[in-house]
A and B are shown apart, each in its own frame.
Chain A
Amino acid sequence: MRYGYSGKILRVDLATHKVWTETLSEEFYRLYPGGKALAAAILLQELAPGVDPLGPDNILILANGLLTGAPFSTATRFSAVARSPLTGGFGESEAGGFWGPELKLAGWEAIVMTGRSAEPVYLWIKDDQAEIRDARHLWRDDPEEAQAVIRQETGEKLARVLQIGLGAENLVRYGSLTNELRHFNGRSGMGAVMGSKHVKAVAVRGSGKYLDAAAEAPPLSEMGRRLAKAVKEHPSSWDLQVRGTPGLTAGLDAAGILPTRNFRQGSFEGVDGLRWETYEKELLSGRRSCFACAVRCKREVKVDDRYQVSDSYGGPEYETVAGFGSNCGIDDLQAVAKANELCNRYTMDSISASSAISFAMECFEHGLIGPKETGGLDLRFGNAGAMVACVEMIARREHIGDLLAEGTRRAAEAIGGDAPLFAMHVKGQELAMHDPRGKVGVGLGYAINEAGADHLTAVHDPMLANPDSLSFKGAQPLGITEALPPRELSARKAANYALMENWNSFERAIGLCFFGPTPRSFIPVDDVLTAVTAASGWEISAEDLLRIGERATNLARLFNVREGFTRGDDTLPERLFQPLENGALAGASIPREEFEQAMTALYQLKGWDPLTTVPTRERLAELELEWAADLVGVPRGQ
Chain B
Amino acid sequence: MTMRVHLGGHLSWYDPGKRAWLEFAEPGPIALLELVRRLGVPPAEIAVATVNRRAVDLETAVAGDEDTVEFFTAVGGG
Contacts and interface: CB of A to CB of B under 8 A. Distances in A.
B53 to A, nearest CB: 8
B76 A239 contact: no
Contacts of A245: 78
B72 A251 contact: yes
Contacts of A466: 44, 47, 74
B76 A471 contact: yes
B8 A238 contact: no
Contacts of B50: 254
Contacts of B76: 459-460, 462-463, 471, 519-520
Interface string A582-596: 001000000000000
Contact of B45 (A247, A276, A318, A469): A469
A577 interface: no
Given A238-B10, A468-B44, A255 B77 contact: no
Given A239-B13, A247-B9, A255 B48 contact: yes
B42 interface: yes
A235 to B, nearest CB: 4
Interface-centre pick from B9, B11, B53 (highest chain A CB count, 10 A): B9
Interface string B33-77: 000000000111101101001010000000000000010111111
B74 A465 contact: yes
A252 B75 contact: yes
Interface string A454-478: 0110011011011111110000000
A235 B75 contact: no
A30 to B, nearest CB: 29
Contacts of B14: 235
Contacts, number: 94
Interface residues of B, number: 26
Contact of A465 (B10, B47, B78): B47
A566 B12 CA distance: 46
Contacts of A248: 9, 75, 78
A515 B78 CA distance: 8
A73 to B, nearest CB: 16
A451 to B, nearest CB: 15
B9 A255 contact: no
Nearest to A445: B77
A239 B7 CA distance: 11
A514 B9 CA distance: 17
Contact of B78 (A462, A468, A514, A584): A514
Contact of A460 (B44, B53, B74): B74
A471 B44 CA distance: 10
Contacts of A256: 55
B69 to A, nearest CB: 11
A256 B14 CA distance: 25
B13 A255 contact: no
Contacts of B20: 276-277
Given A254-B48, A255-B47, A514-B78, A239 B10 contact: yes
A250 interface: yes
A77 B43 CA distance: 34
Contact of B44 (A236, A242, A250, A469): A469
A254 B72 contact: yes
Interface-centre pick from B14, B43, B53, B72 (highest chain A CB count, 10 A): B72
A460 B78 CA distance: 10
B77 A460 contact: yes
B61 to A, nearest CB: 13
A241 B43 CA distance: 23
A108 to B, nearest CB: 29
B9 A456 contact: no
Contacts of A239: 9-10, 12-13, 73
B77 A254 contact: no
Contacts of A470: 44-45
A256 B75 CA distance: 12
A434 interface: yes
B47 to A, nearest CB: 5
15 contacts: A236-B10, A239-B10, A239-B73, A247-B9, A254-B48, A255-B47, A434-B75, A460-B75, A460-B77, A465-B74, A467-B44, A468-B44, A469-B44, A470-B45, A471-B74
Given A243-B9, A251-B48, 5 more contacts: A235-B13, A248-B78, A254-B70, A465-B47, A520-B76
Cβ-closest 10 pairs across A and B: A462-B74, A251-B72, A235-B10, A468-B44, A584-B55, A239-B10, A235-B13, A463-B76, A245-B78, A469-B44
Interface of A: 235-236, 238-240, 242-243, 245, 247-248, 250-252, 254-256, 276-277, 317-318, 434, 442, 455-456, 459-460, 462-463, 465-471, 514-515, 519-520, 584
